[in-house]
Amino acid sequence: MKRLLILFAILGSLLPIYAQFSIQGTRSVGVPQEHIDTVFVLDGMVDAKLSYQDTVPRNFSWNAYNMGDETVTPLAVDENATTTTINLPAMATGGYRLDIEGLPSKWVWVFNNDSLSVKLEDLQVNTELEDRCTSYQIELDYTAKPLQYDTLQHNLLPFELSRNVVLSYDSTYYNQGAYVAKTVNDTIALAHDIIVPSPLDNTVYRIIGDTWAIAFGKADSIESELVQAYAVAVNLEASVRIREDALNEGDKDISSDTKLAGSAPLNIEILNNASPASFFNQWCLSTDKNFSNCMIHSSETDFRYTFEQHGTYYLQLEVTNSVPSDLPEKNCISTSMYTIEVVNSLLEVPNVFTPNGDGKNDEFRVSYKSLISFKGYVYNMWGRLLYAWDDPAKGWDGTIGGVPAAEGAYMYIIEAVGADKDEDGKPMKYVYRGDINLLR
Residue 19 in domain: yes
Same domain (yes/no): 373, 434: yes
Residue 306 in domain: yes
Over residues 22-54, the pLDDT tens digits come to 999 999 999 888 888 999 999 999 999 999 999
Residue 64 in domain: yes
Residue 195 in domain: yes
Q: How far is CA 80 from CA 50, 294, 385, in A?
A: 18, 91, 118
Same domain (yes/no): 169, 251: no
Same domain (yes/no): 313, 354: no
Determine phi and psi for 342, rounding to 5 degrees: -100, 120
Which range marks the domain in which residue 418 is found?
A: 346-438
Residue 152 in domain: yes
The answer on pLDDT for 398 being more than 80 is yes
The answer on pLDDT for 292 being more than 70 is yes
Quick one: pLDDT band at residue 412, thresholds 50, 70, 90? very high
The pairing of strands 259-262 and 333-342 is parallel
SS3 state at 181: strand
The answer on pLDDT for 55 being more than 80 is yes
The answer on pLDDT for 399 being more than 60 is yes
Structural contact between residues 302 and 272, judged by C-beta atoms closer than 8 angstroms: yes
Least confident of 30-34, 230-234, 325-329: 325-329
Q: For position 324, what pLDDT does the model report?
A: 65
Instruction: Give the domain CATH number at 36.
Output: 2.60.40
- The mean pLDDT of 297-319, rounded to a whole number, is 96
Select the more confidently predicted residue: 205 or 162: 205
Same domain (yes/no): 382, 393: yes
Same domain (yes/no): 171, 202: yes
Same domain (yes/no): 330, 386: no
Residue 229 in domain: no
Q: For position 10, what pLDDT does the model report?
A: 37
Instruction: Give the domain CATH number at 302.
Output: 2.60.40.10
Same domain (yes/no): 213, 254: no
SS3 state at 284: strand
Determine phi and psi for 97, rounding to 5 degrees: -110, 130
**DSSP, residue by residue, 40-71:** EEES--TT-EEEEEEEEEEEEEEEEEETTEEE
The answer on pLDDT for 294 being more than 70 is yes
Q: For position 70, what pLDDT does the model report?
A: 76
Give the residue from 286, 310, 342 where a domain finishes. 342
Structural contact between residues 205 and 196, judged by C-beta atoms closer than 8 angstroms: yes
The answer on pLDDT for 13 being more than 60 is no
**Domains held by the chain: number:** 4
Provide the mean pLDDT of the chain.
91
Quick one: pLDDT band at residue 431, thresholds 50, 70, 90? very high
Same domain (yes/no): 194, 238: no
Q: For position 120, what pLDDT does the model report?
A: 97
Torsion, CA 284, CA 290, CA 293, CA 298, rounded to 10: 10
Structural contact between residues 398 and 436, judged by C-beta atoms closer than 8 angstroms: no
Same domain (yes/no): 110, 9: yes
- The mean pLDDT of 113-142, rounded to a whole number, is 94
Same domain (yes/no): 169, 111: no
Same domain (yes/no): 215, 151: yes
Buried b (16+ CB within 10 A) or exposed e, 218-246: ebbbbebeebebbbbbbbbebebeebeeb
Least confident of 224-238, 314-328, 395-409: 314-328
- The mean pLDDT of 164-182, rounded to a whole number, is 93
Same domain (yes/no): 245, 313: yes
Give the residue from 193, 223, 253 where a domain finishes. 223
The answer on pLDDT for 14 being more than 60 is no
Residue 228 in domain: no
- The mean pLDDT of 259-272, rounded to a whole number, is 95
Select the more confidently predicted residue: 223 or 1: 223
Give the residue from 342, 360, 390 where a domain finishes. 342
The answer on pLDDT for 428 being more than 90 is yes
The answer on pLDDT for 148 being more than 60 is yes
Q: For position 407, what pLDDT does the model report?
A: 96
